[in-house]
Amino acid sequence: MKMYEMLRAFVVGGLVLTGAGLQADEFDSSKMMTQYSNPASECCCDLDSCCANSGSRGGHFLFGVEATFLAPIGSTGVQTWEFADLASGANNAFTTDSSGIENLVPAPRVWLGFVNDCGWGAQVRYWELNSSATNTDLFTPQLITGDTTGFNAANTIQMQALDIEAIRNFCYCDWNVTTSFGYRHALRDSQGAMNFIAQVDRPTIIGGQTALYSGASSSISKFEGDGLTFSLAGSRPTCYGIDLFWNMRGSCLWGNSYSSSSAAAAVGTPFGGANFTTGAVSGKSDDIWIGELQAGAQWSRCLPCSNARFFLRGAFEYQYWGSTSGQTFAEAGVFDSGVSGMYVSASSPESSINLVGFALSSGITW
């Protein structure tokens, strides 16, 4: 009985002392805030202290899907043909040099991750771009000479990036900040090819009839490697329910680059023919630097009856993929003496590639 009375007196006395020490005009509701109490607009800038006393949300998953629309700017290989009618002096030529490849193309990005209640986590990201362009002009009679020429040319580019990284969320002043560091595997593959044909009416003075020309060229430039990737991102709420955000990423990769070029030309006449083929190949260990930048705005809303938040966002995006080494070049030519001639060539690029465009994405954290 005495023990019960002592405990009762201790509890009542403690409550009285606590109530006396807390005046109504001294109450500050912001001191009751814990990390993740409102992920869209609040955070605790003393993360370690908050983690020790927080439990309002706990760990959560991240998932997002993004459609980037980017235009590759830079050479993806050069294919050239040139045809000359020596009797009339007329010349016709065409060069691909990424013709048509620099349009905006969709390139998906997806990510999945988990962050614990102290802001540490991990995520996997994947991005891919595929673009192609063709140029075709078959059996077109030339106005001056009457010669018939035609060609078909195509360029393709494929780019991929896979990231596996650790992430850390924290707050700096009014910014929600995320940093990451991890592993990246990347691929850049550019290819081009062209075929050319021509039919020429030979002068009667040298036997008449026709000469048939055919030519082909191709080029490949490929890099695939592994390395390190790191990023820094930030977001902050505005007064209109929209968050501003930005993120920057850099990657340094080591791997192997391969490039090749080939060219072939042939002519056939009633009195004989000729053909010529050349090629060049290069392969070596290489390294490239990749830089990425995004800046835009995000809208988010809590989903009813769940501890999840849905978001939509749009942003400007820019990527830089550094140049590879080992450019190759090949050329070939044939002619019908005194009548006509054809020249074809191919070169693989070693220049950098810039990607410029925008991104639209949606996702959920829960």
Q: Domain segments of the chain: what residues?
A: 42-365
Residue 289: predicted pLDDT? 96
| Residue 100 clears pLDDT 80, i.e. is over it | no
Task: Give the residue, 105 or 303, on which the prediction is more confident.
Answer: 105
Residue 140: predicted pLDDT? 66
pLDDT digits (tens, 9 = 90+) for 340-349: 888 999 988 7
CB of 215 within 8 A of CB of 342? Answer: yes
pLDDT over 90 percentage in the chain: 41
Residue 106: predicted pLDDT? 93
pLDDT digits (tens, 9 = 90+) for 72-95: 987 778 888 888 877 667 778 888
pLDDT digits (tens, 9 = 90+) for 240-266: 889 999 999 999 999 999 999 999 999
Model confidence band, residue 111 (pLDDT cutoffs 50, 70, 90): very high
Residue 340: predicted pLDDT? 82
Cβ contacts of 214 within 8 Å, gap of 6 or more: 195, 196, 197, 198, 265, 266, 267
Burial of 70 (0-12, 13-18, 19+ CB in 10 A): buried
Model confidence band, residue 168 (pLDDT cutoffs 50, 70, 90): very high
Residue 6: predicted pLDDT? 45
Burial of 9 (0-12, 13-18, 19+ CB in 10 A): exposed
Residue 7: predicted pLDDT? 39
| Residue 99 clears pLDDT 50, i.e. is over it | yes
Residue 13: predicted pLDDT? 43
Q: What is the mean pLDDT of the chain?
A: 80
Phi, psi of 15 (to 5 degrees): -65, -40
Mean pLDDT of 206-219: 82
pLDDT digits (tens, 9 = 90+) for 17-68: 333 333 334 434 333 333 333 343 344 444 344 333 333 456 889 899 999 9
Angle (CA) 133-134-136 rounded to 5° is 160
Task: Give the residue, 303 or 5, on which the prediction is more confident.
Answer: 303
Q: Per mean pLDDT, which of 6-15, 83-92, 177-186 is the most reliable?
A: 177-186
Residue 4: predicted pLDDT? 44
pLDDT digits (tens, 9 = 90+) for 286-327: 999 999 999 999 998 888 877 788 889 999 999 999 988 778
